[in-house]
Amino acid sequence: MTESYSPESACLEAILLVGGQGTRLRPLTLSTPKPLLPTAGVPFLAHQLAKARESGVRRVVFATSYRASMFAEAFGDGSAFGLSLEYITEQAPLGTGGAIRNAAEALTCGPDAPVLVLNGDILSGHDIRAQVAAHLARQAAVTLHLTEVDDPSRFGCVPTDAGGRVTAFLEKTPNPVTNRINAGCYVFQRSCIDRIPAGRVVSVERETFPGLIEAGELVLGYADRSYWLDVGTPAAFVQGSCDLVLGRLRSPALPGATGDVLALPRSRVSPSAKVSGGTVVGPGAVVESDAGVHGSVLGAGCVVESGAVVVDSVVGPGAVIASGAVLRGAVIGDEAVVGSGNELLAGARVWPGVHLSPGAVRFSSDV
């Protein structure tokens, strides 16, 4: 490694993987890519970009695919974040490795430079500078952030030896050998990215990393126990937004002080309403008298009428939750209307523009 890339002085380049369609988050992602969904008052990626800037990144290449033009519309040239941004679009899905290789065409650094690679659906409190420092100190080919989870059987686990060298990538198994999993943040040596085959589907987990291990190159694990969350499901998306508002994870992009509620400009919350649990009340949204909202995300211009209850839910922009309606763990699409007396419980999803008549539904998974 060249001395110009010390963790204190490096002006890192990064690749941000944002090409997925976010199918597990539908209907929220029907019109908006998952990384652009409003999260604690700003697009989700704003939190990642602000953290990257704090960690020494100065230039970011977006690896886009689904609704690619919306990313440039949201972030422009990156000057608002003190970053230089470039956008590269996949014409066909290339997998994680293929997307990294495709985006690398826009990198400007040399073969010995470290390149940070971030997944666009992860909230993490880990120390990126420390991960880069470990990568440089050990002269690794790739350094992976590893996190510990309670149930590693739901993930691919990543065992390491006593020195931190990754020894294998194991697919989901009922008897994991470790509770450490791939946390989705990598530091690559640029020359390793250039060796990924171009123009075809490549998985870093199934092909790139195992290939490097087999070749005897150092794939290093950087393990810690800091905050980590994959926001790929509605429940996790709501949790991530609430955790940011509550201050469980610090973000320089948060548009206000941490606390029980984040009420954005032009929103109106009745003094008799009970709003808590890290709820975000979006721009122009209204929470009427005696309504109860806890741990939820209320989109721009939506209305929660008097006496309605919204818990652990997402209410899309322009939607209306009528008096007496109850949402618990539900997702309500843009401009939908949930009539009085409806009770939508965990897993219920209402598609954009759907109008539920008063008292029509006690529970439904998809309406």
How far apart, in whole angstroms, are the C-alpha atoms of residue 352 and residue 284?
19
List the catalytic residue out of 34, 51, 172, 274.
172
In this structure, of 171-185, 201-215, 311-325, the range with the lowest mean pLDDT score is 171-185
Answer whether the bond into residue 252 is a cis peptide, omega within 30°.
Answer: no
Residue 361's φ and ψ, nearest 5 degrees, are -135, 130
Say if residue 83's pLDDT is above 90: yes
Name the pTM for this structure.
0.90
How far from chain centre, in Å, is Cα 332? 20
DSSP 279-333: EEE-TT-EE-TT-EEES-EEPTT-EE-TT-EEES-EE-TT-EE-TT-EEES-EE-
Q: Please confirm, yes or no, whether 172 is among the known catalytic residues.
A: yes
- Tens of pLDDT, residue by residue over 219-244, are 999 999 999 999 989 999 999 999 99
Beta bridge partners of 13: 59, 115
Among 300, 275, 297, which Cα is nearest to 285's? 300
Say if residue 3's pLDDT is above 60: no
Q: What angle do CA 318, 323, 328 make, to 5 degrees?
A: 75
List of domains in the chain: 3-233 (3.90.550.10), 260-356 (2.160.10.10)
Say if residue 364's pLDDT is above 80: no
In this structure, of 161-175, 261-275, 319-333, the range with the lowest mean pLDDT score is 161-175
Say if residue 4's pLDDT is above 50: no
329: left (phi over 0), alpha (psi -120 to 50) or beta: left
- Tens of pLDDT, residue by residue over 99-157, are 999 999 999 988 889 999 999 899 999 999 999 999 999 999 999 999 988 888 777 78
pLDDT classification of 274: cutoffs 50, 70, 90: very high
pLDDT of residue 281: 97
pLDDT classification of 9: cutoffs 50, 70, 90: very low
- Tens of pLDDT, residue by residue over 13-55, are 999 998 877 788 888 888 888 899 999 999 999 999 999 999 9
pLDDT of residue 149: 87
- Tens of pLDDT, residue by residue over 173-186, are 777 788 899 898 99
Mean pLDDT of the chain: 90
pLDDT of residue 241: 96
